[in-house]
Amino acid sequence: MSTRRDFLNKIAMSGITLPLMSTVQPTEAINITDYQGPVLRVAIMGLGSYGTRVAEAMRESKMAKLTGIISGTPAKIKDWQSKFGIPEKNCYNYENFDNIKNNPDIDAVYVITPNALHHDQVIRVAKAGKHVICEKPMAINAIQGQEMVDACKKANVKLLIGYRMHFEPKTLEIIRMRSDGELGKVLFFQGLAGFRIGDPNQWRLDKKLAGGGAMMDIGIYAVNGARYMVGEEPVWVTAQETKTDPKKFKEGVDETIQFQLGFPSGAVASCLSTYAMSNLDRFFLNGEKGFAELQPATGYGPIKGRTHVGELNQPHITHQTVQMDEMAAIILQNKKPVVPVDGEEGLKDLKIIDAIYQAVRLGKKVDLKL
């Protein structure tokens, strides 16, 4: 398996115990069964495997519709035009996409390109007056992330980050249980995120494009998951790096990082991010009164979970369909999600990742101020 998306898809397929119900709409989440209101018109930037997954999922969306595409590959543009019915006037390349400013068919752009490209592309979209959805991590460091947040605020457009798990039903049920005190005082969180990466020439192993290695790809799930599972912001981090293949994982491209987080309440987290081990997609939350576990925790689904009171049985809905409907509600109706998905949320993860890399370099605890 060569990429995080291959890994997440494989985890999903290997863990299926419920039928895939991509046609089931997230009515419980935003009550849109008979939705007749405004629709968010979205252009996807970056027509790779995940862009395709999002586009396919949007076929089932009620509040979001694919209306435009941006790509540097003319053949992909032609293919998508045919597949998704995109008119020529809504097709752009990376040189001319600033012209979306004058296109009323596009309300928002979903940036799904390599990490290092996000910063400039998001700022250009904001300057064009369009809302932005950006894949995670939103940038390669917190300085870039802050500049993106500031640019979107200045342009008076929303910046959302592609945290699909923030809308996943089993995940939200655990968050509800924790918030309602059913787990008691939270004591410990474990987040395992990893797979064996394949092609050594892919962009995810190129520091200039990825900004790092496993931490910037799969590890961000454990970073973000620790925050929404514990329900607090960490105040310190320690971290250790292991590298067994320096030829494949060159300088600045991390293979495996173990990191620990401390929270104001005294809760601690122990997490693993790796490109060298498979079968790692597990969250475990322990409290004084009970526990909650997800395994797989972040795959494309179905997510499987249990707590001290039994199995979690919320139905599986295609994550990207739910995400796009929920994000449309945030942009069009100013809906407030249970767990934020805005630029500030993405910026906090980047600050933690910066601190993790710093802790690896220094070999000591690094304080966090989020």
Residue 118 has pLDDT above 90, yes or no: yes
Q: Residue 128: how many CB atoms within 10 A of its CB?
A: 19
Which residue blocks in 15-73 are alpha helix, DSSP H?
27-30, 49-58
CA-nearest of 167, 139, 115 to 298 is: 167
Give the residue-averaged pLDDT of 180-205: 98
Residue 137 has pLDDT above 50, yes or no: yes
pLDDT of residue 191: 99
Q: Please report which confidence band the pLDDT of residue 81 belongs to, taking 50, 70 and 90 as the band edges.
A: very high
23, 76, 93, 156: CA torsion to nearest 10: 10
Q: Give 265-319 as a 3 state SS string.
A: CCCEEEEEEECCCCCEEEEEEEECCCEEEECCCCCCCCCCEEECCEECCCCCCCH
Q: Please report which confidence band the pLDDT of residue 105 belongs to, taking 50, 70 and 90 as the band edges.
A: very high
Q: What is the pTM of this model?
A: 0.92
pLDDT digits (tens, 9 = 90+) for 163-190: 999 999 999 999 999 999 999 999 999 9
- The segment(s) of the chain belonging to CATH 3.30.360.10 are 165-315+341-367
Give the residue-averaged pLDDT of 154-166: 98
pLDDT of residue 9: 60
How far out from the chain centre does Cα 27 lie? 22
Catalytic residue among 130, 136, 158, 348: 136
Mean pLDDT of the chain: 93
pLDDT digits (tens, 9 = 90+) for 16-63: 333 323 333 333 444 556 788 999 999 999 999 999 999 999 999 999
Is 221 a known active-site residue? yes
Separation of alpha carbons 20 and 165, rounded Å: 17
Separation of alpha carbons 47 and 161, rounded Å: 18
- CATH code assigned to 165-315+341-367: 3.30.360.10
pLDDT of residue 351: 98
* Ranges assigned E (strand) in the chain: 40-45, 64-70, 91-92, 108-111, 131-134, 159-161, 186-194, 236-242, 256-262, 268-274, 280-287, 291-294, 305-307, 310-311, 366-367
Domain 18-164 grouped into CATH 1.10.1060.10: no
Look at the alpha carbons of 272, 277, 281, 282 in this order and tell me if their dihedral is positive or negative: negative
pLDDT of residue 34: 75
pLDDT digits (tens, 9 = 90+) for 282-336: 999 999 999 999 999 999 989 999 999 999 999 999 999 999 999 999 999 999 9
Is 228 a known active-site residue? no
Residues whose CB is less than 8 angstroms from the CB of residue 253 and which lie 6 or more positions away in sequence, other chains included: 205, 206, 207, 210, 212, 213
- The segment(s) of the chain belonging to CATH 3.40.50.720 are 18-164
pLDDT of residue 36: 86
Q: What percent of the chain clears pLDDT 90, i.e. is strictly above it? A: 90
Catalytic residue among 92, 163, 221, 357: 221
Residues whose CB is less than 8 angstroms from the CB of residue 85 and which lie 6 or more positions away in sequence, other chains included: none
And the tokens for 338? 């249970």
